[in-house]
Amino acid sequence: MATRMITCCTTALLSRAIVAPRTFSRPLAISFRLSASDASWHGTGIRDERVRALRLHRNLYSRACASAGAENASAGNEVQIQLYNTMKKQKEVFQPIVPGKVSMYVCGVTTYDYSHIGHARVYVAFDVLFRYLKSVGYDVTYVRNFTDIDDKIIKRANEVGEDPLNLSRRFCDEFQVDMELLRCLPPNVEPRVSDHIPQIIKMISQIIENKNGYVMEGGDVYFEVDTLPTYGCLSGRKQEENRAGERVLVDNRKRNPADFALWKSAKPGEPAWDSPWGPGRPGWHIECSAMSAEHLGHKFDIHGGGMDLIFPHHENEIAQSCAACADSRVGYWLHNGFVTVDNEKMSKSVGNFFTIREVLELYHPLALRWFLLGTHYRAPVNYSKRQLEVASDRVFYIFQTLVDCEQILSQQVDKVAACNPSKEAIELVKSIKNTFRTSMADDLNTPVVVASFSESFKFMNDLMHTRKGRKDKTRLVSLQLLITEIQEVMNVLGFQIPSYSKVLDEIRALALKRAGMSMNDLAARLQERASAREAKDYARSDQIRLELAAAGIGLMDGGDGTLWRPIVVAEEQLQTA
């Protein structure tokens, strides 16, 4: 990766308080940026720049996966992966139907609004699974659908006076922007319900022919749960526990209250398609059964989604698919845990509902991704400002370390191979490799993987910024060994990007935004503090430091001037924000 040199725009106003770029004697010390383009990543032209960066990121990832995949394939894919299978209620050794190939379907969003942080949890988790399987040599076909026909879409479209399919297309596009920002790789296929009506009608016809569905007067078609003795095998629910509920119509004409819609007859003002039972549209559950069968076949390896989909959605998918094809089978059912907000269930009515876009107005996408991967994907995760502050601080620390390392190595590239790495560097690399190998193979234990970076980054910073480290003859080759291994792991986790420096600039800009400050505001405070120090008014100087710290701006005084960086805001300050 080409080295990204840190640049700084200075003015006379900042000349005494702010220093020019340098190799920092302290880890994490960042010189202040004055350029508005550096300090804001929301604005004209940023979308195009972001897409270009993402494409480069994907190319880097593909090349890395190809290299790692070839290495693992030549080793016979010795990694024994265990995944928690919701169907069996236990971890199982992962054995794909076709050796060397993985077929994976993940239920996508219903596109009637901007996606929320619960969606981020789902798709970051399965993005890591997608990346990981590729990295160990599997040829993965990843399918993630869009539900672009649904009651919620129609309701929202009527509220805003927009065509339902147009509204849905608009939010499909917005969802993809969110996924790009979160560094989620695009699936191989992203089918939409509106493009699969013939396949849905064919599957419904087969279900009716096999005596598992029935047509009611008016053209509604329902699945009859009593005809399938295994109904409830995924959720563990008994037939008597099933009631009409979420997205299941209460209809006295149904043979069993738990029977669910396969086809809904047309109603005025709703999109409709012709069918053997009259004009109408699909029910929610049949959509995924038909699309997964179309793109992966009736047998495939992994079906994933949020824990809230176990019942009724995934239970009903199993029923439909088995009724349409007796050989239908999914090898592993994977589900991620819920997201709470400040230890309460996320809900619009409570007022603690946050879209991805709202979160990214104040925090960097990689901070949100880091926060999500810090909890095991099956465990519940509690979202809070405090957690995002800590995640943002950690990402800043990691990327600053990598920037410093690249800078040092690029300046002395001819000396890197002059000797062997130190024993400590070799042991740290072994530890990273072993932790990654065992933890990721153990049902994607990402919290252990991200925690394993700590010792290595401390060692790297000691080599770069302490007197003892700078004198170490193995310094350069040890840094090169560590950064290479760390980047490989970060690649699989989704943190390998074209420019670390750009991310640091973006994190700084967002820290200023959270503080309610402009660059000029900060410059004025720094100048005020410099004047106080010059006048030996240290009480005032300390007061300004504390005020800025309370706003998330940390100051560091050194022989070359004062530097600043984003810091974690105190808990009491976040509660009043």
Q: Write the DSSP string, 140-202.
A: EEEEE-BB-S-HHHHHHHHHHT--HHHHHHHHHHHHHHHHHHTTPPPPSB--BGGG-HHHHHH
Q: What pLDDT does residue 241 have?
A: 65
Q: How far is CA 62 from CA 1, 177, 388, 495, in A?
A: 15, 20, 29, 14
Q: What pLDDT does residue 253 have?
A: 87
pTM for this entry:
0.86
Query: What's the rounded mean pLDDT across residues 533-551?
Result: 96
Question: Is the link from the previous residue into 312 a cis peptide, with omega within 30 of 0?
Answer: yes
Q: Which residue has the higher pLDDT, 468 or 27?
A: 468
Share above pLDDT 90 across residues of the chain, in percent, rounded to a whole number: 77
182-210 pLDDT tens trace: 999 999 999 999 999 999 999 999 999 99
Instruction: Find the range with the poorest average confidence among 83-87, 174-178, 349-353.
Output: 349-353
Tell me the two tokens of residue 454.
Answer: 């700590």
Q: What pLDDT does residue 572 have?
A: 62
Q: What pLDDT does residue 18 have?
A: 29
Residue 238 has pLDDT above 90, yes or no: no
Query: What's the rounded mean pLDDT across residues 158-168?
Result: 97
Query: What's the rounded mean pLDDT across residues 565-572?
Result: 86
115-130 pLDDT tens trace: 999 999 999 999 999 9
Query: What's the rounded mean pLDDT across residues 148-170?
Result: 97
Half-sphere exposure of 417 (CA within 13 A, CB side): 1
Tell me the pLDDT band of 560, cut-offs 50, 70 and 90.
Answer: confident
Instruction: Find the range with the poorest average confidence among 45-59, 303-317, 366-380, 407-421.
Output: 45-59
Instruction: Find the range with the poorest average confidence among 32-36, 114-118, 145-149.
Output: 32-36
Computed over every residue of the chain, the mean pLDDT equals 87
Q: How far is CA 265 from CA 78, 193, 282, 388, in A?
A: 52, 17, 9, 46
Query: What's the rounded mean pLDDT across residues 463-491?
Result: 96
Torsion-angle region of residue 20: left (phi > 0), alpha (psi -120 to 50) or beta?
beta
